Amino acid sequence: MNRKFELLRTPAIANLERRLFLKRGLSLGALSLLTGCNITEQESVQRVLMAMSRWNDGAQQWLFNPHRLAPEFPESRITRPFPFNAYYSEDEVVEVDGSSYKLELAGMIRERKPWTLAQLYALAQVSQVTRHICVEYVGFQCADDYYGSIDMATALHPQTIIALRYGDEILPPKYGYPMKLRIPTKLGFKNPKHITAMFVTNEYPGGYWEDKGYNWFSGS
Ligand SMILES: Nc1nc2c(c(=O)[nH]1)N[C@H]1C(S)=C(S)[C@@H](COP(=O)(O)O)O[C@H]1N2
Ligand SMILES: [Mo]
């Protein structure tokens, strides 16, 4: 889904983003993306945040590489109407009074003066047409109680395949008959065998080893 954002970026926000970036490898943008998503259970939010913090171990640096730009799209590719996402329904959207609205600034910021909406509108603006990815996992269940999950980008990777055959034979039992997910960009445990069900979800499904503490991303 693509959506158009009218964005403003004050030097203070850009600086805060950069600091978070360098210190924790997690951008403000990634966090605010999460909160805008259609995640209903508190527990799954916690699990997503835990999963995200586990990404932050160097192997996934490319995800948050400050020099890697997200793809941009022409106006014709905008999804309309754009679906509503929140932890409540659309008729419960919070009402904000723009005339009294103030953006408070706090923490290690030199100028902590709140900004009014009029002041914000007066700043230089940029626009972007970019893809909104809520969370989007693909989960797998296996015949032997094994289970696992991968991000959508990995699922759509050209070398991620469902293996039904091994060499010249039907996939043998020990390698996952009748179906094994083969992901050459990931560690062995991310390749579920004997798959009986696949599902797409926005709630972090975890995995057999991941839920015992293994790194969820475990790949390149
Ligand atoms: N269903 C199922 N899938 C699984 C496992 C398992 O125990 N059960 N083990 C994983 C691990 S740890 C590895 S290394 C690979 C091994 O796959 P292979 O036997 O095809 O080499 O399968 C993965 N997929
Ligand atoms: Mo493994």
Q: Indicate if ligand 1 lies below 6 Å from the C-beta of 173.
A: no
Ligand 2 centre distance from Cα of residue 2 (Å): 37
What is the model's pLDDT at position 122? 95
What is the model's pLDDT at position 164? 94
Ligand found nearest the CA of 146: 1
CB-side neighbour CA atoms (13 Å) of 97: 2
Question: Tens of pLDDT along the chain (220 residues)?
Answer: 566 554 444 454 455 455 544 443 333 333 344 444 444 445 565 566 566 555 555 555 555 566 778 889 999 999 999 888 878 899 999 999 999 999 998 888 899 999 999 999 999 999 999 988 877 899 999 999 999 999 988 998 989 999 999 999 999 999 999 999 999 999 999 999 999 999 988 889 999 999 999 999 998 8
Q: Indicate if ligand 1 lies below 6 Å from the C-beta of 188.
A: yes
What is the model's pLDDT at position 50? 65
Ligand 1 centre distance from Cα of residue 192 (Å): 6
What is the model's pLDDT at position 28? 36
Distance of alpha carbon 151 from alpha carbon 135, whole angstroms: 8
Ligand 2 centre distance from Cα of residue 188 (Å): 5
Q: Indicate if ligand 1 lies below 6 Å from the C-beta of 195.
A: no
pTM for this model (two decimals): 0.59
What is the model's pLDDT at position 70? 82
